[in-house]
A and B are shown apart, each in its own frame.
Chain A
Amino acid sequence: MHRLRDARAPGRGVVNRSTFQVDGVLPTQTYQVTRTDLVRYAGASGDFNPIHWSDRVATSVGLTGVIAHGMFTMALAARALDTWAGASGRVRELGCKFTKPVVVPDDDEGVTVVVDGTVTSLTDDAVHITLEVTCGDKKVLGVPKAVLAR
């Protein structure tokens, strides 16, 4: 996984407990995704569906090329949540629809996935966040939202 400018500096983008605010817009997280990332994710997750690594198979089922695992894109959303929370292990709920495929070309640049988030409500023990996950001008996840433990 390559990290672009937004995600590179340690601690950047962290929103600690005291600064989560309702209607607070969270710092944009930007991730570059290449074919190498998809192969690595296939191995780590155990999902070896060939549409995630073979153009031949991907095009045979009507895709324009190899696409990222939906669960990989969802994992990027989870990664952004960890960054905003400043720690892992705080996510209690995370859900989304897989609405548009993330097509990943066979080159060194790959594609860029952007994760934005807004705090929608705060309770004594939970932070509710709605996300927006885009690739180019397309929302690739439908109604992504999360609940974090405070």
Chain B
Amino acid sequence: MPVDPSLAGRTFPPTEVYEVSQEKIAEFAKATGSTFDGHAAPATFPIVVALPAMNALMADPDAGIALHQVVHGEQRFTCTRPVVPGDRLTAELTVETLRQIGGADIIGTRTEITDPEGAHVCTAYATLVHRGEES
């Protein structure tokens, strides 16, 4: 089943507030072999905050996305500052682009991660490749 063409341009509701703990950053840093100085989280840590927003997109019954057919094609972070312990963050995902290439749907997403005042912390761009059943 192809991805719903009307998905392009759609913004999903912001996620519940993610409270960033010292312990969670330490766990993530240890899992990636990174040094954690008690302050700045590793540069890819925002993916933990963005993941619920990405999961909501993939679980949306109207989107027509089959999870087992999804491959992570590309990822980019643009950050104003690192995530730090005590941050209360929300993630709001927008499907920016939807293209078809050789039977695959290429889904370009942008997830804005902001603090409770709405200040920008990080934008996570993810490109998801949704392969057709045949390929």
Contacts and interface: CB of A to CB of B under 8 A. Distances in A.
Contacts of B30: 1, 40, 44
A76 B31 contact: no
Contact of A76 (B33, B36, B48, B71): B33
Interface in A24-80: 31, 37, 40-41, 43-47, 61, 70-72, 74-76, 78-79
Contacts of B79: 91-93
A88 B77 contact: no
Nearest to A98: B72
Given A31-B33, A37-B31, A46-B48, A98 B73 contact: yes
Contacts of B125: 95
Interface of B: 27-28, 30-37, 39-44, 47-48, 51, 68, 71-82, 125, 127
Interface of A: 1, 3, 7, 31, 37, 40-41, 43-47, 61, 70-72, 74-76, 78-79, 81-82, 87-89, 91-98, 142, 146
Given A88-B37, A91-B43, A98-B74, 20 more contacts: A1-B32, A1-B33, A3-B33, A31-B33, A41-B32, A43-B31, A45-B51, A46-B48, A47-B51, A70-B72, A70-B75, A74-B44, A79-B32, A79-B33, A82-B35, A91-B79, A92-B78, A92-B80, A94-B43, A96-B75
